[in-house]
Amino acid sequence: MICEIISIGDEILIGQIVNTNSVFISKELNKIGVEVVKITSISDKEKTIIDSLDLAKKNSDLIIMTGGLGPTNDDITKHALCKYFGDSLEENRKVLKNIEKIFEKYVSTPMSKKNRDQSLVPSKAKILNNSYGTAPGLWFTKDNISFISLPGVPFEMKEILINQVIPELRKKSNRIILINKTILTYGLGESFISEKIKDWEKNLPFNMKLAYLPNLGRVRLRLSIRGKNRDLLNNKINNQIKKLYSLIGDIIVGIEGETSIEQELLKKFKKNKITLSLAESCTGGNIAARITKIPGSSVYYKGGIIPYNTKIKQEILKIPVELINDFSVVSQEVAKVMALRTKSMFKSNISLAVTGNAGPSKGDSEEPIGTVYICIVNGKKVINYKFNYGKHRERVIEKAVNKSLELLLLEVSG
């Protein structure tokens, strides 16, 4: 089954909201083997809606619309659909009962005429009950093509999609399914990875596709395959991933959805029964924020200090003022003492410290903007790193965070 998703409403076109509805719908459709070939966002004008339906049905046998089903004047999807299918509105008693129920349960104000008018629905459509809102979903079928219109409110849409649309589509789906797995890597750019795996890539089965997804110094590799037998497809992908491990296993974190670098850190630290503390200057708490996003991280992350101000580095972390004067606050030497002091302060097995210039101005150091020193102290071992991440403040911070997590993983994996 081939699908186009159409999101109706100006808020997406003026960039006010992110289209998360289509993300949810495509994910669910892909799971049951429906291929989404196009996602379109359009304005809530009658002609635009009708033109878009005309276009979509040329390439798709399933069209899912969201938005424009509400009670206010700018909600016109229902009327556009009536025009498109030569249909008219009629009161539906079941829908009316549902609206009354919703008002009884969730709304303190009395029902207005506009709310009651929500029970006027196109006579030819199959009605999809909305347990959380007053606008029902609508399912038209014409020339073997399904046209499904869902409310734009995310949790209303999700409930109708999951409980009423997906089960019905699953029956119709021709069972060609798409399986994809995304391999998380770290520490190497996409062109280098592609160089290392070019022979493997060339020899991928004809129905398997590889995509490189780079972002802020990290590359994800997505393998996808289409076919009928889920177990067989999974086997095929897993075999290719096994081969990939033999080529670039040193930079693979794991499979997206199954794990993340933060989760791998938790696993490794927990397994080795070791603890971590952090001293974050230029990253200002971002490494800790990433680590503590994972439930259970308190098992290894004891805590950290953010010595943002230079004086704090001296007073709380007892960095000698001469060291700062001699080497500057952004230096390998200071990073090292930061890590050592934090380790003994927090009594952790491993400590990581970061100091750098995120910019845009130089701050208390002569090092160029973008310079970041990272130091890891593991027991008695001290490892120093120096990087430059350019002049864009947010990027410097994010790259320093990513790199710190990677270096920690490297350290506890080694």
Q: Which stretch binds its own copies (CB under 8 A): 119-127, 230-238, 241-249, 292-300?
A: 292-300
Told to check if 250 binds its own copies by CB under 8 A, we report: no
**Is 195 among the residues that bind its own copies (CB under 8 A)?**
yes
Residue selected from 350, 389, 403, 408 as contacting its own copies according to rule CB under 8 A:
389
Q: Which amino acid is at 214?
A: P
Contacts of 219 (CB under 8 A, 6+ apart): 185, 188, 189, 190, 193, 212, 213
Nearest to 304 by CA among 358, 349, 343: 343
- Is 192 a binding residue for its own copies by CB under 8 A? The answer is yes
- Alpha carbons 97 and 99: distance in angstroms, whole number: 5
Residue nearer to its own copies on the CB measure, 22 or 149 = 22
Distance CA 222, CA 234 (A): 14
The answer to whether the bond into 360 is cis (omega within 30° of 0) is yes
Kindly state whether residue 292 participates in binding its own copies, applying the rule CB under 8 A.
yes
Q: Token digits for 284? A: 């200002």
Q: Nearer to its own copies by C-beta: 141 or 258?
A: 258
Mark residues 128-167: x for contact with its own copies by CB under 8 A, - for none. Answer: ----x--------------------xxx------------
Say whether residue 203 binds its own copies (CB under 8 A): no
Residue type, 245: Y
Going from the C-alpha of 189 to that of each of 125, 185, 192, the distances in angstroms are 51, 9, 6
Which span (230-238, 260-268, 285-293, 371-379) binds its own copies, by CB under 8 A?
285-293
Q: Which residues are CB-contacts of 5 (< 8 A; sequence separation ≥ 6)? A: 22, 25, 26, 36, 38, 39, 40, 63, 64, 65, 66
Contact 138, 78 (CB under 8 A): yes
Q: Is 199 one of the binding residues for its own copies (CB under 8 A)?
A: no
**Interacting residue with its own copies among 191, 234, 235, 239 (CB under 8 A):** 191
Burial of 144 (0-12, 13-18, 19+ CB in 10 A): exposed
Instruction: Report in angstroms how near the CB of residue 86 gets to its own copies at its nearest.
Output: 25
Rule CB under 8 A: which of 76-105 touch its own copies? Answer: 105
Q: Does 174 help bind its own copies (rule: CB under 8 A)?
A: no
Residues in contact with its own copies, shown as a per-residue x/- string from 349 to 388 under the rule CB under 8 A:
---------xxxx-x------------------------x
How many Å apart are CA 410 and CA 414, to the nearest integer?
A: 6
**Size of residue set near its own copies by CB under 8 A:** 113
Using CB under 8 A, which of 140, 147, 301, 373 touches its own copies?
Answer: 301
Asked whether position 259 contacts its own copies by CB under 8 A, the answer is no
Asked if 214 touches its own copies (CB under 8 A), the answer is: yes
d(CA 373, CA 167): 54
* Contact letters for its own copies, residues 223-242 (x by CB under 8 A): -x------------------
Q: Which of 280, 333, 367, 406 binds its own copies (CB under 8 A)?
A: 280
Out of 2, 32, 38, 263, name the contact with its own copies by CB under 8 A.
38
Q: Which is nearer to its own copies, 145 or 213 (CB)?
A: 213
Contact 40, 7 (CB under 8 A): yes
The answer to whether 316 contacts its own copies (rule: CB under 8 A) is yes
Check residue 36 for interaction with its own copies (CB under 8 A).
yes
Q: Name which of residues 4 to 33 contact its own copies (CB under 8 A).
A: 9-20, 22-30
Which helix (H) or strand (E) segment holds residue 138: the answer is strand 137-142
Residue 76 neighbours by CB under 8 Å, 6+ apart: 44, 45, 46, 49, 68
Q: Which amino acid is at 308?
A: Y
| Min separation Cβ 138 and its own copies, Å | 19
Binding flag, residue 186, its own copies (CB under 8 A): no
Least CB distance to its own copies at residue 176 (A):
14
Contact status: 201 vs its own copies (CB under 8 A): yes
Question: Which tokens sit at 251?
Answer: 């930079």
Q: Convert 2-58 into a string of H (helix), E (strand) and C (coil).
A: EEEEEEECHHHHCCCCCCHHHHHHHHHHHHCCCEEEEEEEECCCHHHHHHHHHHHHH
Shortest spacing between CB 211 and its own copies, in angstroms: 5
175 binds its own copies (CB under 8 A): no
